[in-house]
Amino acid sequence: MDFDLNVEQEMIRKEVRKFAQSEIAPMAEALDETETFSPELTRKMGEIGLFGMFVPEKYDGQGMDYISYIIAVEEIARVDGSHAATIAAGNSLGIGPINYFGTDAQKKKYLPRLCSGEALWGFGLTEPTAGSDAGGSKTTAVKDGSEWVINGSKIFITNAACELSLGVTVQAITGNRPDGKPEYTCFLVENGTPGFKAVPMKKKMMWRASSTAELYFDDVRVPSENILGKQGDGFHQMLKTLDGGRLSIAAMGLGGAQGAYELALKYARQRKQFGQPISKFQGVAFKLADAAMEIECARNLLYKACWLRDKGRPFEKLAAMAKLYCSEMMGRVTNHAVQVHGGYGLMKEYQVERFYRDQKLLDIGEGTSEIQRIVVSRHIGC
């Protein structure tokens, strides 16, 4: 067994960490406070190659392995959850479906711009009545000649209502299958299409500097060539997309936990009580030891899942495990980190407060912790 990263992967970690510290860290607090999405930082992330890392070079991607992409998400999350969300959703949910299921014409039309960071793409699955139950979708698409007419709405869609938003992949019901169950098909809908509206969502507890939107489709007409893949493949495409997306959410949990742990360790070494640094007290030292142990366990689990994916082997069970463990692990670590900071951990001028808020979405997004346990239980034969 070889647990060493290769030279390229180590270089990616070093360069992304340097970028996150120098470019994102100085702005993260202000952007969070004002709920401001930054096109400038997003473009800069594109300039250093953080979009389309796993996309073939023929479509202007980086052609890298998946673990390299996961390391990049991890390092951005170590500094700020909002910008990690922009990267994770931009790649796994925006670029991913087009890269894996799109026609050559669709890939050539959209991927170069998305891989450059000059444009973002959303992933329209969640609806007011369809969260964990993705099959509860109400959005429909009806064929009318050579076009499809889409009606419905989506909610909590990342990267769909900012200055760089180019469009969304939307899942809609297009009829019934032979077994009587709904047939789902995915469509590519560009911003500016008549009847399509993306409305920014504000007053979020977490990821306040990322773009989140409600989407409305009112007799939105798209040509048949805007179908992603084949008619009726939508549900399969969404499930496969979520399998990969779980790894990026896990990376956000891992990176966020690492960042919170480092903040707590630094504070514990500097803060003195009873004449010595609080890191010397067993009650604090054990919290930090537990955090270090859980981060190490999480990294090994996540990287193994990515290794399986890169080898073309089944990874779905470990992806669900990694998403579940890394997201909940960050909750435990950030809780310890706030406790180590004491009252200061509750103040916005201390970064650990933001890490504590940003963690909660990881228990919910890309399939709740409860759904992950269902997925894992099915894989083990329950």
Domain boundaries, the chain: 7-120, 122-235, 236-379
Rounded to the nearest 10 degrees, how much is the dihedral formed by the CA atoms of 306, 89, 83, 217? Answer: -170
pLDDT digits (tens, 9 = 90+) for 106-122: 999 999 999 999 999 99
DSSP 152: E
CA-closest candidate to residue 67, choices 313, 334, 308: 308
What are the catalytic residues? 366
Look at residue 186 and tell me whether its pLDDT is greater than 90.
Answer: yes
Q: Which fold does the domain 122-235 belong to in CATH?
A: Butyryl-CoA Dehydrogenase, subunit A; domain 2 (2.40.110)
Q: Give 276: exposed, middle or buried? Use CB within 10 Å, 0-12, 13-18, 19+.
A: exposed
Q: C-alpha 38: how far from its chain's center?
A: 17
Look at residue 216 and tell me whether its pLDDT is greater than 80.
Answer: yes
Sign of CA dihedral 151, 156, 379, 303: positive
Q: What percent of the chain has pLDDT over 70?
A: 100
pLDDT at site 310:
96
Give me 324's structure tokens: 């579940």
Average pLDDT of span 69-90: 98
CATH superfamily of 236-379: Butyryl-CoA Dehydrogenase, subunit A, domain 3 (1.20.140.10)
CA distance 182 to 140: 10
Rounded to the nearest 10 degrees, how much is the dihedral formed by the CA atoms of 138, 144, 146, 152? Answer: -20
CA distance 46 to 94: 14
Q: Give 7: exposed, middle or buried? Use CB within 10 Å, 0-12, 13-18, 19+.
A: exposed
Residue 73's pLDDT band, with cuts at 50, 70 and 90, is very high
Q: Which fold does the domain 7-120 belong to in CATH?
A: Butyryl-Coa Dehydrogenase, subunit A; domain 1 (1.10.540)
Q: List Cα–Cα distances, 118 to 3, 22, 43, 90, 343, in angstroms.
A: 35, 21, 6, 11, 41
CA distance 131 to 217: 18
Q: What percent of the chain has pLDDT over 90?
A: 94
Task: Check: CB of residue 174 under 8 Å from CB of residue 232.
Answer: yes
Residue 133's pLDDT band, with cuts at 50, 70 and 90, is confident
DSSP 21: I
Residue 70's pLDDT band, with cuts at 50, 70 and 90, is very high
pLDDT digits (tens, 9 = 90+) for 139-159: 999 999 999 999 999 999 999
